Amino acid sequence: MIERLENMLAAIFGGIFLALAGLVAVEVAARKLFGLSLQGANELGGYALAVGSTLAFTLALFGRNHIRVDVLHERLSARWQGVLNWLSAFLMASLAILLAMLAWGVVRDTLDYHSTAQTPWATPLIYPQGLWFAGQVVFMLTAVGIALRASWLVVRGQLAQLNIELHPRSVKEDLDEELDDLAARQGGGRS
């Protein structure tokens, strides 16, 4: 199920930025060839960045790609690695909850004031902000789920499993993934 959610979020993320790239290409061509502007490519770009970034937060969480300073991590005992891995999950969930709460405040104000964009389109801001808030909620639910899973593993004394699931990605893991991707693009497999 997690893989399906991750693939769905990645497809949405990719679709948003492919559509934005197409719009920008049309905008540039129209300006260059006809001296016309679509009036709004910048506005849509900002909305795409806001929504896309919340999806990227979640995708990075699934892939264990959020930056963690791990200089000492590998030199610590498995017990201390587990403590740090649990702490990172707890702090990430706390951050995600805070971001979702702040995002809700923005959306609530937008609803109260019926805010519109100060652009030629005068877009009702509830639409892009609603999507942005939804992305924040997905990030929050994912982070809280991971923190609950980490806490459950700690309570059960399964620090080895916790360390397998939540340790920071190593340079070797990144290199192996890149080499596998390269081999797949070249049509062969790695041995």
| Full domain range(s) for residue 14 | 2-185
Which residues are CB-neighbours of 132 under 8 A, at least 6 positions away? 47, 50, 51, 54, 103
Which residues are CB-neighbours of 148 under 8 A, at least 6 positions away? none
**pLDDT computed for residue 69 by the predictor:** 72
Give mean pLDDT, residues 116-140: 95
Which residues lie across from 116 on neighbouring strands? Answer: 124
In a domain, 190, yes or no: no
Q: Which two tokens stand for residue 58?
A: 């979640």
Convert the pLDDT of each residue in 3-35 to its tens digit: 898 899 999 999 999 999 999 999 999 999 999
Which residues lie across from 124 on neighbouring strands? Answer: 116
Residue 149 has pLDDT above 80, yes or no: yes
Query: Are residues 27 and 41 in contact, defined by beta-carbon separation less than 8 angstroms?
Result: yes
**pLDDT computed for residue 188 by the predictor:** 61
Residue 189 has pLDDT above 60, yes or no: no
Comparing CA positions, the residue from 77, 11, 87, 60 lying closest to residue 169 is 60
Convert the pLDDT of each residue in 154-184 to its tens digit: 999 999 999 999 988 877 788 888 898 889 8
- Cα–Cα distance, 178 to 191 (Å, whole number): 14
- Cα–Cα distance, 19 to 48 (Å, whole number): 9
Where would I find the H helices in the chain?
2-34, 41-62, 78-113, 126-155, 159-166, 171-185
**Among residues of the chain, what percentage have pLDDT more than 90?**
70
Q: Which two tokens stand for residue 137?
A: 């909620």
- What is the number of structural domains in the chain? 1
**Among residues of the chain, what percentage have pLDDT more than 70?**
98
Q: CB atoms < 10 A from the CB of 80, how many? A: 13
Q: What angle do CA 156, 162, 165 make, to 5 degrees?
A: 140
In a domain, 191, yes or no: no
Residue 150 has pLDDT above 80, yes or no: yes
Query: Are residues 116 and 62 in contact, defined by beta-carbon separation less than 8 angstroms?
Result: no
Convert the pLDDT of each residue in 48-82 to its tens digit: 999 999 999 999 999 888 877 777 888 899 999 99
